[in-house]
Amino acid sequence: MTTIILLFGLGLALVVAEVFIPSMGVLGMLAGLSLMTSIGMAFYEDAGTGTLLLVITAVSVPLILTFGIKLFPRTPLGRKITARGFSFEDGRAVDRRDEGLAGARGVVEAQLRPAGIARIDGRRVDVVSRGEAIDAGIEVVVVEVSGNRVIVARAGS
């Protein structure tokens, strides 16, 4: 029974290590092997113990992985290798020229189904309709600008 508990503990420790140490899956495979071996040994000893260990594994491994993945970007290694994406708050993900387009009119250049391209104020803008397909050459009006999304509707609708 001691061997089963040690293998199980080693397996869980290797799952944690896999999240925090880049090993290209080696630690994950060792964790899986250790956990499966401990569960197999537990079933060999007693079906109830094996079932209990299997349930504990099925619950604890996803919880450990979820917690580790959420925690990883806050670790020193995570801060070094995690890409810092653009956000709407800092404005780098938004084309500032789009902010003043609300109410502007333009012409669809590439059919909207519902996304496409329209020429508005002399420049090509990626736009989205409110769900309907709009053919090229149809006049549209910008009804909303939200983040990097420019929403248009047929002019006169």
The domain ranges of the chain are: 2-81, 96-154
Average pLDDT, integer, range 20-44: 93
What torsion, rounded to 10 degrees, do the Cα atoms 19, 21, 22, 28 define?
A: -50
Q: Give bridge partners of residue 112 from the DSSP assignment.
A: 134
> What span, in angstroms and rounded, lies between the C-alpha atoms of 127 and 150?
5
Percent of the chain with pLDDT over 90: 61
> What span, in angstroms and rounded, lies between the C-alpha atoms of 130 and 115?
9
Grade residue 124 by pLDDT with cuts at 50, 70 and 90.
very high
pLDDT at 84 over 90: no
Grade residue 148 by pLDDT with cuts at 50, 70 and 90.
confident
Phi, psi (5° rounding) for residue 109? -100, -40
pLDDT for the residue 87: 56
> What span, in angstroms and rounded, lies between the C-alpha atoms of 155 and 121?
15
pTM of the predicted structure, to 2 decimals: 0.53
Homologous superfamily of the 96-154 domain (CATH): Nucleic acid-binding proteins (2.40.50.140)
- Beta carbons within 8 Å of 91's beta carbon, 6+ residues apart: none
pLDDT at 111 over 60: yes
Q: Residues 30, 14: contact at Cβ < 8 Å?
A: yes
- Report which of 19, 111, 7 is spatially closest to residue 62, judged by C-alpha positions: 19
Type of residue at 94:
V
